[in-house]
Amino acid sequence: MRTLIVGGTGCGGRALARTLTTAGHRVRVLARGQTGHPPLPTGADAVLVDRHDGLALAAALDDFCPDFVVDQIAYEGAEAETLRRALPSSVRRVVTVSSAVVYEGAPAARAGRSDAPHEEGDPLVGPGAPAFAQGKVAAEHAALEDPRAIVVRLGLLFGPGHPPLTPLGRAADLRGRLAAGEAVPVPADDPPRLQPLYAGDFAEIVLRLLDAPSFGPSPAVLNATGADTLDWPAWLRAWATAWGTPPPRVDPCTPAELARRAPPWLTRFLPALLAPPRLDTTRLRSFWPDWQPTPTVEAVRATVRADEAG
């Protein structure tokens, strides 16, 4: 089996390459080469292709003749459409990675709960939403034009190779800041709604989707989260525990205060960081009743060990 991964330099791509090659897949990673590519496992290789170049993308796909394609970096409708048009007939399934940010506001109350998490068929954001969310919706729509496509909507993906996420973006210096007792800005109104998904668990979900003979439900969408739903202080405590630093101090801030402190490049992502939509995973667990995601504290420890080992 041949699987092509579009975008493989992040924690999700690294985990996918390891999991798929272990399962016997021949893996090829398509990347632009703008960031250093981590070493690939035996059975995987990489080629440099700009996904926006339709002719180059089609040539790369035809050369590899994949059975499966996993698109991790479709942020706009045009990007997903370019890939869809380039897919060769050899492809049996396409998995497009999306995000919880596509869901519109709070879901309708279910079973008497006004805080019910989003199911796959819930309404999606419209024209007034942040550009990042609108782009992800457009990418999903373009991908699902192909009957071979499945969209996986993720919460907070993390794993080796990615600095831990904070409300103000990824923080490669977080360990030192926690060790020094620096307070980390967090939303003042912060109910538990972070749903971290370990990269190794994400890769296992994708492998199961590729192996499944059919998907079935409509829309062809699957929510995927990890084992726990946390607030920001609990997420920071998991990292402090793994590093052996003191318990984290937090600085509760209003959304306006956090927006002022955020770097400009983070603006498009800030709404999802401060108020991430919660995902219902009933569909995932109905497919695989044996599914047991890694507990967050254990997964963070594994991430720290892998990063320290290099």
62-88 residues labelled b (16+ CB within 10 A) or e (exposed): eebebbbbbbbbbbbbebbbbbbebbe
Structural contact between residues 294 and 226, judged by C-beta atoms closer than 8 angstroms: yes
pLDDT category of residue 31 using cuts at 50, 70 and 90? confident
List, edge to edge, every strand of the sheet that includes 26-31.
Answer: 44-48, 26-31, 2-6, 68-71, 93-99, 149-154, 221-224
Residue with tokens 């519109």: 104
β-bridge mates for residue 223, sequence order? 153
Domain boundaries, the chain: 2-163+195-229+277-303
Q: Per-residue pLDDT for 201 more than 60?
A: yes
Crossing angle (nearest 10°) for helices 296-309 and 232-243: 50
Q: Per-residue pLDDT for 111 more than 60?
A: no
In this structure, what is the dihedral angle of CA atoms 86, 30, 25, 40, given to the nearest 10 degrees? 180
237-272 residues labelled b (16+ CB within 10 A) or e (exposed): bbbbebbebeebebeebeeeebeeebeeebeebbbb
User: In the prediction, which pLDDT does 40 show?
Assistant: 85
Average pLDDT over residues 7-26: 92
Residue count of the chain: 310
Question: Taking Cα atoms as reference points, which of 226, 265, 219, 241 lies closest to residue 124?
Answer: 219
Using CA atoms, how far apart are residues 71 and 69, in angstroms rounded to an integer? 6
User: In the prediction, which pLDDT does 258 show?
Assistant: 94
> Hey, what are 44's tokens?
């995987």
Quick one: CA dihedral 67, 73, 75, 79, positive or negative?
A: negative
Average pLDDT over residues 171-183: 97
Structural contact between residues 99 and 152, judged by C-beta atoms closer than 8 angstroms: no
Average pLDDT over residues 138-146: 97
For strands 165-166 and 169-170, give the pairing: antiparallel
Domain 2-163+195-229+277-303 in this protein, CATH class: alpha beta
pTM over 0.75: yes
**119: three-class secondary structure by DSSP:** coil
> Hey, what are 38's tokens?
């981590």
Q: Per-residue pLDDT for 36 more than 80?
A: no
User: In the prediction, which pLDDT does 189 show?
Assistant: 85
User: How confident is the model over 204-256, as pLDDT tens digits?
Assistant: 999 999 988 777 777 899 999 999 999 999 999 999 999 999 999 999 999 99
Q: Per-residue pLDDT for 139 more than 90?
A: yes
User: By percentage, how much of the chain surpasses pLDDT 90?
Assistant: 76
Residue 71's Cα: distance from chain center in Å? 11
Structural contact between residues 148 and 94, judged by C-beta atoms closer than 8 angstroms: yes
Q: Per-residue pLDDT for 196 more than 90?
A: yes
User: In the prediction, which pLDDT does 244 show?
Assistant: 97
What does the mean pLDDT of the chain come to? 91
Average pLDDT over residues 160-177: 94
Residue 205's Cα: distance from chain center in Å? 12
Half-sphere exposure in the Cβ direction for 193 (13 Å, CA): 20
